[in-house]
Copies of this chain bind each other. A is one copy, B any other.
Amino acid sequence: MEQKIPVVILGATGSVGQRMVQLLDSHPWFEVTSLTGSDRSIGQPYGEACHWVLTAPMPTWAREMIVRPTDPGSAPGQVAFSALPVDLARELEPAYARAGAAVCSNASAFREAPDVPILLPEVNAEHAAIIERQRRERGWSGCIVTNSNCTSAGLTVALKALQEAFGLRRGVVVSLQAISGAGYPGVASLDIVDNVIPNIKGEEPKVEAEPTKILGAYRDGAIVPAEVVLSAHTNRVAVSEGHLVCASLEFDRAPSVEQAARVLADYQGPAAARDLPSAPRPPIVVRTEWDRPQPRLDRETGGGQTTVVGRLRPDPLFHLKFVVLSHNTIRGAAGGSLYNAELLVRLGYAGGLP
């Protein structure tokens, strides 16, 4: 690519915004030209406005960048990565889409809209086509696509591989989620040291609903949700990064453990999503040890973009049970938005193929 695509990060000072800044450092296609923040931080250098919580140091180019208000006039971008809180996202993401930006959002504001896809490129790249309808009906020159919820991300990648091969019917999924999923300051330490919080506000409905949309078929300009019933329990545990999900699943055709392992390990995903810069290589890794995946040891697999599955075994009640791990602030958040943006560029929805 001769010239990089100028991009803006909306809500760049929070923990997801920080991950976007970090992952966009030296990105082969994108160059961050604007960072936006709340009233409290507008006008300040990003290095001062932001309480950086990542291990990797803040990129030098970001330190001096002045935080701007979140509007397409003062902070434009061909792609707008949104780490906005849900209420602001509802109002400001359409403004960017109207102004022509391809909005890749981490917020849940539009996930339920029938003309907005929840994109996991290695699962449902073809859902991006609904952007045509979105533009037509809403009169936008840009568009909005969303990430899934951070817990749904890795889980749905694993479900997709199995659904394709064996027909997925239903299951129970129980999460053990990292504290970084709640942002910063997020979870109070007194609530999590020597403790588990056995619920996460608003999370279970998302984990039950989003996979059915993502696993759905794109037909005649509409996304038809998959007929899959999930029951979710969500828990917060004292882990910094990496969401673990225990899944018990029933299929149309019962797979053996070996068949399931092969299908997962061989999963490639849609051709359009394969060789993008942020594509997980491979999409799924299958571990065979008795005690893996573990958040601390396995979350960085494939740079945090790969879904890790382990403990595949028969389920005495359904057909198959296993554990799935996904990096919640990379694949489940900022890395997911990047991957979505790359897909939109590839498909011509972000103003020019590189």
Among B188, B231, B235, B297, point to the contact of A185 (Cβ < 8 A): B188
A11-28 toward B: CB 8 Å interface, digit per residue (1/0)?
000010000000000000
Whether A295 sits at the interface, judged by CB under 8 Å, is yes
Residues on B with beta carbons closer than 8 Å to the beta carbon of A189:
179, 186-189, 191-193, 238
Known pairs A172-B317, A194-B240; A199 contacts B297 (CB<8 A): no
Please name 19 further chain A to chain B contacts, defined as beta carbons within 8 Å, in addition to the given A198-B292, A198-B293, A233-B246, sorted by A numbering: A15-B190, A171-B317, A172-B172, A174-B174, A176-B176, A176-B237, A186-B190, A188-B189, A193-B193, A193-B238, A194-B295, A196-B294, A197-B294, A198-B244, A198-B291, A199-B290, A231-B248, A231-B316, A231-B317
Whether A180 sits at the interface, judged by CB under 8 Å, is yes
Q: Contact check, A193 vs B290: say whether CB atoms are below 8 A apart.
A: no
A47 shortest CB reach to chain B, Å: 11
Among B237, B248, B290, point to the contact of A172 (Cβ < 8 A): B248
Among B197, B201, B321, point to the contact of A231 (Cβ < 8 A): B321
Known pairs A189-B187, A190-B186, A233-B321; A176 contacts B195 (CB<8 A): no
Known pairs A184-B190, A198-B310, A311-B198; A296 contacts B55 (CB<8 A): yes
Whether A275 sits at the interface, judged by CB under 8 Å, is no
Q: How far is the CA of A180 from the CA of B296 in the complex (A)?
A: 14
Whether A239 sits at the interface, judged by CB under 8 Å, is yes
Whether A116 sits at the interface, judged by CB under 8 Å, is no
Residue of B nearest to A244 (CB): B196
Which one of A199, A235, A296 has the greatest number of beta carbons of chain B within 10 Å?
A: A296
Residues on B with beta carbons closer than 8 Å to the beta carbon of A192:
189, 193
Whether A300 sits at the interface, judged by CB under 8 Å, is yes
Whether A123 sits at the interface, judged by CB under 8 Å, is no
Q: Contact check, A193 vs B191: say whether CB atoms are below 8 A apart.
A: no
| CB-CB contacts below 8 Å: A234-293 with B | 235, 237-240, 244, 246, 248, 290-293
Q: Contact check, A195 vs B291: say whether CB atoms are below 8 A apart.
A: no
Known pairs A176-B196, A194-B194, A231-B321; A186 contacts B188 (CB<8 A): yes
A151 shortest CB reach to chain B, Å: 14
A20 shortest CB reach to chain B, Å: 17
Residues on B with beta carbons closer than 8 Å to the beta carbon of A62:
none
Q: How far is the CA of A174 from the CA of B317 in the complex (A)?
A: 13
A58 shortest CB reach to chain B, Å: 11
Whether A323 sits at the interface, judged by CB under 8 Å, is yes
Whether A229 sits at the interface, judged by CB under 8 Å, is yes
Q: How far is the CA of A240 from the CA of B292 in the complex (A)?
A: 19
Residues on B with beta carbons closer than 8 Å to the beta carbon of A188:
184-189
Q: Contact check, A237 vs B237: say whether CB atoms are below 8 A apart.
A: yes
- Report, nearest first, the 8 A-B pairs whose CB atoms are least far apart: A185-B188, A233-B246, A195-B296, A174-B174, A231-B317, A172-B172, A194-B194, A189-B189
